[in-house]
Structure formats: structure tokens, C-alpha cells
Chains A and B, each alone.
Chain A
């Protein structure tokens, strides 16, 4: 039982490049989330998926897109990376919604040059 897994763990991009962050959970959770964490700030919600087949914008969605591929997988895509997207990205999942405990993946450390 791996919980929430994320790939890659580290990534360096040049401005304008694109990439997809992958996330998968094996806990049969309905809800999944993407957050970013910057120094001195709390985690900020980028997008979430309340259940398979649905996605919605969070607090900071600009510059990102997401896909809920199936119940297990939720990917985050940066179409044209910018230095302002340098951050640590966490994927999380919860059983039925945000009032449940959220389980986080180990994070992806992204640097955009």
C-alpha cells in the first residue's frame, strides 16, 4: 500500500517548456488535489477533483491544467512554464471530500529557469 505517489521528485525546466506532474493513489479515494507550497506561504490549492470525472479550479489555477485520468490518477500540466511556477508541488487525496484527512504525496520540487 504505497498511499499517494508522485513523479518526478525533482525537475528543472527552462521558461516556456511544458511538463506533466503525475500523481496516483491506491486508497480508493474519491477526491484528489494539487497544491503548491512556496516559502513563507501556506499550501495553496491549484485544482481539485471532487470525484472521478470532475475537476475544478482552486485558488491559483492560472498557468495549469489538470486531468483526472481515472479514480487513481490525477495529473497536473504546465503548458508553458514560467519562473513564478518554481515551487514544491504536492498531490493529495481524501476519502469523500475536504473534511476528511488529506493524504499527501512526497512532493515534486520544480525549478523554472
Chain B
């Protein structure tokens, strides 16, 4: 079993739709969680950190469920510019940071 698993997608949604991604992790001692965004043939960039209490940044909401060992990302009112691959990132301690393989999102007009 992979340490961090994501549905690879692709998710194809119309503009304005709400879409949610989940990511599961296997190490219960995992400490920190992030969502990164990666555009095609570009470098990853931090989208948001994921806090225990959940957090929101504009149209993006991240949640952490430690009991079930998953994190989620909700995107409301999708824009064409949201088309990208979303990487789930989990730190399990020290410098051990695990990147998921990513979920591809296509937002269509």
C-alpha cells in the first residue's frame, strides 16, 4: 500500500461546479499536511496547508480527518484556471515528506 494515495482522476467538471478530492495516508504518526498545485510541465506550488480544525482560503477548503486518516480539498465555483494536478503532501516526521501522485482536474467552459 502506498503511504499517500490519491484518486488520479481526471475529474472533468464544468465551470462553476464544486469538486472535492480526497487523499488517504497510512502513517498514523503523520504530523503535517499540505495541498500543492502543479500545472502541466511546471513545478509544484503550495496551495494551502491543512490544519486540524480545517481551513479555508477563498474558494478552497481543506479538511483533515485523523481518525480515518484522510485529508480533503473542496473547490467551489470552479474556474478554468483551476485546471491542474493537485498533490496531497504528508509529513511523517523529520524530513520525511511524502507526495501523492496527484489528482488531475479539468474545468471546462
Interface residues of A (CB under 8 A from B): 31, 35, 40-45, 48, 50, 56, 58, 90, 97-99, 101-102, 104-107
Contact = CB atoms under 8 A, between A and B. Distances in A.
Interface of A is mostly: loop
A48 B101 CA distance: 20
Chain B: interface secondary structure?
strand
A40 B42 CA distance: 16
B17 interface: no
Nearest to B44: A104
Interface string B13-56: 00000000000000000011010000000111110010000000
Interface of B: 4, 8, 31-32, 34, 42-46, 49, 87, 91, 94-102
